[in-house]
């Protein structure tokens, strides 16, 4: 009985070896050295897995096409200058048509902004006192 079991096991192993040699499924090493991972090509075969390229230095993100691109942060919103409140009110010179505004930049610096009669900003350097004080008021830079 034991010899029959051994003989059946040997015959079964031999039959399994013959069946595996007759099968069309074989494991062969890839000739492509780029990747050792194989994926289904959708046509009944295999192809090497081609990973996306590694991003360069710095921060990278994936765009809408699935490609790595350098991260470009959005520019911060720059706060515009604002009128100094509560006083003085904008001063309009009837002779020239110019309007003078006392402005304050986001960093706290106060300056005078001048518009001509058409509403266009005039830009020149220097400093001046507030127009309706007769030169006795505080002096501000002109932007």
Place of tokens 């006083």: 87
**Residue predicted with more confidence, 87 or 107:** 107
Beta partners for residue 140, in sequence order: 128
Q: Are 48 and 37 in contact (CB under 8 A)?
A: yes
Mean pLDDT of the chain: 77
- The encoded tokens of residue 2 equal 């034991």
Q: What is the pLDDT of residue 34?
A: 55
Q: Is the pTM of this model over 0.85?
A: no
Would you say residue 140 has pLDDT above 80? yes
**Residue predicted with more confidence, 15 or 35:** 15
pLDDT in tens, 98-122: 888 888 888 888 888 889 888 888 8
What is the rounded CA–CA span in Å between residue 11 and residue 5?
Answer: 10
Q: CA 27 → CA 31, 37, 42, 98, distances in Å?
A: 12, 13, 18, 87
């Amino acid at each position: 009985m034991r010899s029959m079991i051994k003989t059946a096991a040997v015959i079964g192993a031999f039959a399994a070896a013959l069946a595996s040699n007759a099968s069309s499924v074989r494991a062969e090493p890839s000739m492509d050295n780029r990747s050792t991972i194989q994926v289904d090509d959708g046509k009944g075969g295999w192809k090497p897995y081609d990973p996306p390229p590694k991003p360069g230095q710095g921060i990278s993100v994936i765009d809408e096409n699935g490609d790595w691109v350098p991260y470009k942060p959005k520019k911060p919103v720059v706060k515009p200058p604002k009128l100094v409140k509560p006083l003085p009110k904008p001063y309009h010179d009837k002779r020239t048509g110019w309007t003078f505004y006392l402005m304050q930049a986001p960093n706290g610096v106060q300056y005078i902004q001048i518009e001509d009669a058409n509403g266009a900003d005039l830009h020149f350097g220097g400093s001046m006192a507030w127009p309706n004080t007769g030169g006795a008021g505080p002096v501000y830079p002109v932007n």
